[in-house]
Chains A and B, each alone.
Chain A
Amino acid sequence: MGQRILITGTSRFLGGMLAKRLESDPDVETIIGVDTDPPLFEFERVEIVRADIRNPLFVKVLQATGVDTVVHANVVTDELEIGRGLMKEVNVIGSMQVLAACQKADTLRRVVVRSSTEVYGSEPDTAAFFTEEMGPETSAKSGYHRDVLEVEQYARDFGRRRPDVSLCVLRYANILGNTVNNPMSLYLGQPVVPTLLGFDPRIQFIHEDDAVEVLVHAAKSDAQGIFNVAADDAVYLSQAIRLAGRIQVPLLPPSPALAAQILRVLPFVQVPLNLVRYLAFGRVSDNTRLKTVFEYEPRYTVLDAIHDFALKKRAERIKPEPAEQQWEDDLRRFIDRKLAEAADAGPGMSHSTHGDRPGGHPDG
C-alpha cells in the first residue's frame, strides 16, 4: 500500500503543483486536495474536497480518509488578494483547525507545514544570513509576519503533542519563476517600480521549480525540523529590478514607517504593506540545513529565477490577451473531453489533457 496524502490549498500554486507532481508517482496511493476554490489544474486522480479548512468538519475528512501524510500548503501570502481580514482568518484560524485535526488523526505519520522566511522579519542590523535556530528579532511589524509566527507556533504545539508524527516546517523565501504570482512578482512586474530612497536591500528568491520539488521531497521523505527554502545566492533589489527590465523610481521616503503611511493613502501603487520593511532592509536566509539535513540541492540560483521571470514578462507582451487565452483553453479542454468520451470504449483508458497555461496562479 502506498502513501495517502492530503493537501490543503490545491487552488494555490504550491498545493496545486504538488498534487500534480504526486499524481504520476506510483508510491502515492491516494491524493486528496482540500480547498474552497476550484483547483489549479484538472487532475486525473486527485480527489478534490471542496471544503473550508476553517470548518470543524475538516477533522472528519481526515478521519474518514485515513491519510498518513498532511501537507498544509494553504497559506495566503498576498494581502491585496483577499483582504487582510480574510487572509488572517485563512492563515491563522485555518492552520489552527488543520493542525488540531491532525492531532486527532491516529493514522497520521507525517505533517508538512508551509511557512515563510518572513518569520525572521526585516531589520537593519541582523546577521547577513538567517539560520533556522534564529527566531524573530523583534515583534511582528506586519500582518503577514504575525500570521506566519502564529502558524509556526501551532506547528510547534502540534509537534509537542504528537511526537510520533514527523513534522517538517518549510520556511520559503519569495517564490519567483515563469508562472507564479505573489506580492513580490506583482511588485517586480510593475513597469515602474517604486523603492525607498537610499535603501537597496539584499533580497533572495527560490525558483518555483525548486519550490515545488522541495515540497514533493518533503511530502515523501522523512526529514524532521525547520528548513529554510532558498537559493544559494542573493541580489540587490536594484539589480533585480534592472534584470527584470523594469525602471526603478526611488520615490518613497527613506523611512519604512513613513513609506508605509504614504502607501496607505495611495490606492494606485501596488506595494503591499507587509513588503515595505522588506524593501528597506531585505532578508537573506541560509540554506545549509536544506542541503545537509533535508538533502535537497537547489537547482536554480536567484539570478536564474529572475531571468525566468523576465522572460515571462517579455512573453506576456507578445502573447494574446488573458481572456482570449482563457477561452482558447476552455475550448481545447472541451474538445479533449468530447474526444475522450467518444474513445471511452476501451476501459481504464483515462485520457485527459489540458493546456498548461502559464501565468495567473496565485502562490500558496
Chain B
Amino acid sequence: MADKHTGARVIPLAQEQRRKARKVTPNEVAARARAVAASRREARASRRRAEVARLPRGRPGPIYGALADPRLRQIARFVRRRLEGQYVVDEYGYDEDLVDDVFAPLLDVLYEKYWRVEVKGLENIPTRGPALVCANHSGVLPWDAVMLALAIRNEVPTHPVPRILAADLLWRVPFLSHWARKAGITVACAADAERLLLEGEIVGTFPEGFKGIGKPFSERYRLQRFGRGGFVEVALRTGARIVPVGIVGAEEIYPMLGDLTPLARLFGLPYFPVTPGFPLLGPLGAIPLPSKWIIEFGPPVEVDDLSADAAGDAMTIFHIGDAVRDTLQQILYRNLMERRSWFW
C-alpha cells in the first residue's frame, strides 16, 4: 500500500516486467512447434501403450466360457471389446483393433489370393523418417489405394500404419468415409500431408487424382497430368523424400469402356463408368477381375538439399514433379514388358 503515492503507473509497470519475462520470439515458437510435431509420433505410440495397458481385463462372460473353439473365443473377445468401447484409436482416427481383426484379414485375401500382389523395390523405402509415396491411379474404384496400403503395412515393419490421402468425394459418403478414417486414410489436403510427414509417417498419394482412376481402358498405364504439383510443395516444405511407386494390374480389374457423362453429372460423380460388367450386370459388375498385380517402389527423389523456400518456386516444383512422373512411367513400362499376361 506504500506504493499508493506513486500513482496508478505502478500496476502497468509490474505487469510489463512479467510480460517481458514471458515473451517468446516467433522463431522459438516455430522451433517448439516443430519439436512438438516431431515428437508426436512417439507420443502417440506411448499414449497407445498406456491406453492399451489400462484396458480392463474383465472376467470372461458366460458365452465366452461355453465356447471351445479358440477362433470363436477370439471373435467373442473382439465383439465384447467393441461393445464396451475398450479399444484404442489414434487422433487421426486409425482404429488398430478394427483393422487388425477385421479389415486386414479380409483384404489380405484379396491381396494374397485374388490379385497375388508382388512387391518389389522395398529397399527404396527409408527405414527412418518420412516418405511421400506417389503412385499411379487406375481401376475405376480405388482398389489400388487399398492394396498400396496393405503392401506397406505387410512389407514395411517400421511403418505399420500407412497414411493414404483420399479425395474429398469419399468424405461425403456415409459408412465408407468413416471406415476409411478407421483404416488410417485421411483427407487429401496440404495440412494433413505436412503434419503426417513432419511426424515421420509414410504418406501415400495419387497425384493424378480422378483423371487417373477414371481414364478409359484405351489409355491404360499412360500417366495423366500431375495436378498442380501440390505433393512436391508438401515434400519441399517438410524435407520428405518422394518415392514413386508403380502399380501394375489395377488397370485391368474393371476395364472402362465408356463414360456416361450425363449420368455422372446427375449423381455428382466425376465419371460414370461402363465396364464389361457394369451397369449391365448391376451389383455383380462391382466384382473386379482377378488380374496379377505388381507394386514396385522406385528410387526416391530427394528434396531435402533444396530449401523450404523452393516450395514457392513454380519452376522447381514443375521440375521435381516431372522427374517423379518420368521415373514412375519408366517403372510402369518395365513391368509391363516383363509381364506375360494380365492374369499371371
Q: Which residues of A contact B (CB under 8 A)?
A: 1, 68, 107, 109-110, 124-129, 131, 134, 166, 196-202, 221-223, 232-236, 238-243, 254, 284, 288-289, 291-293, 295, 301, 303
Q: Which of B14-22, B285-293, B297-305 contacts A (4 or more CB under 8 A)?
A: B14-22
For A254, list chain B residues within 8 Å (CB).
174-175
Question: Which of A202, A222, A232 interacts with B19 by CB under 8 Å?
Answer: A222
Q: Would you mind naming 20 contact pairs between A and B with Cβ atoms under 8 Å apart?
A: A1-B1, A1-B11, A124-B168, A124-B177, A125-B168, A125-B171, A126-B189, A127-B191, A128-B93, A129-B191, A134-B191, A198-B175, A202-B181, A234-B91, A234-B93, A236-B95, A239-B85, A293-B29, A301-B47, A303-B51
A242 touches B84 (CB 8 A): yes
For A292, list chain B residues within 8 Å (CB).
29, 32-33, 36
7 pairs of A and B residues whose beta carbons are closest in the complex: A198-B174, A242-B85, A125-B168, A127-B191, A254-B174, A292-B32, A243-B85
Residue of B22, B24, B82, B93 with highest tally of chain A CB at under 10 A: B93
A129 touches B22 (CB 8 A): no
Provide the bound-state CA to CA distance between A236 and B29, in Å.
Answer: 31
B13 to chain A, nearest CB (A): 11
B96 to chain A, nearest CB (A): 12
* A interface footprint on B78-91 (CB within 8 Å = 1, 0 otherwise): 00001111110111
The residue in chain B whose Cβ has the minimal distance to the Cβ of A254 is B174
Provide the bound-state CA to CA distance between A305 and B266, in Å.
Answer: 45
B12 touches A109 (CB 8 A): yes
A309 to chain B, nearest CB (A): 12
A202 to chain B, nearest CB (A): 5
A109 touches B191 (CB 8 A): no
The residue in chain A whose Cβ has the minimal distance to the Cβ of B177 is A124
Question: Which of B43, B82, B87, B174 interacts with A232 by CB under 8 Å?
Answer: B43
A206 to chain B, nearest CB (A): 14
B172 touches A124 (CB 8 A): yes
B156 to chain A, nearest CB (A): 22
Provide the bound-state CA to CA distance between A235 and B86, in Å.
Answer: 12
Question: Which of B10, B36, B168 interacts with A1 by CB under 8 Å?
Answer: B10
The residue in chain A whose Cβ has the minimal distance to the Cβ of B88 is A303
Provide the bound-state CA to CA distance between A264 and B272, in Å.
Answer: 36
Supposing A222-B15, A288-B36 touch, asked if A199 and B84 sit within 8 A by C-beta, the answer is: no
Q: For this complex, into which size category does the number of interface residues on chain B fall?
A: 35 or more
A284 touches B91 (CB 8 A): yes
Q: Is B107 an interface residue (CB 8 A)?
A: no
Question: Which of A68, A128, A232 interacts with B192 by CB under 8 Å?
Answer: A128
Provide the bound-state CA to CA distance between A242 and B84, in Å.
Answer: 5
Other A-B pairs, 18, CB within 8 Å; known A1-B3, A68-B11, A125-B189: A1-B11, A109-B15, A125-B187, A127-B191, A128-B186, A129-B191, A129-B195, A131-B191, A199-B174, A222-B15, A234-B91, A239-B85, A239-B89, A241-B85, A288-B37, A292-B32, A293-B29, A301-B47
The residue in chain B whose Cβ has the minimal distance to the Cβ of A222 is B19
Question: Which of B43, B47, B92, B187 interacts with A126 by CB under 8 Å?
Answer: B187
Provide the bound-state CA to CA distance between A12 and B51, in Å.
Answer: 33
A125 touches B172 (CB 8 A): yes
For A295, list chain B residues within 8 Å (CB).
22
For B24, list chain A residues within 8 Å (CB).
293
Provide the bound-state CA to CA distance between A196 and B172, in Å.
Answer: 13
Residue of B10, B51, B195 with highest tally of chain A CB at under 10 A: B195
Provide the bound-state CA to CA distance between A129 and B195, in Å.
Answer: 9
For A109, list chain B residues within 8 Å (CB).
11-12, 15
A236 touches B89 (CB 8 A): yes
Provide the bound-state CA to CA distance between A291 and B24, in Å.
Answer: 13
For B10, list chain A residues within 8 Å (CB).
1
* A interface footprint on B27-39 (CB within 8 Å = 1, 0 otherwise): 0010011001100
The residue in chain A whose Cβ has the minimal distance to the Cβ of B54 is A303
For A128, list chain B residues within 8 Å (CB).
91-93, 186-187, 191-192, 195
For B33, list chain A residues within 8 Å (CB).
288-289, 292
Q: Is B63 an interface residue (CB 8 A)?
A: no
Provide the bound-state CA to CA distance between A200 and B36, in Å.
Answer: 28
B93 touches A236 (CB 8 A): yes
B89 touches A235 (CB 8 A): yes
B15 touches A68 (CB 8 A): yes
The residue in chain A whose Cβ has the minimal distance to the Cβ of B47 is A233
Q: Is B178 an interface residue (CB 8 A)?
A: yes
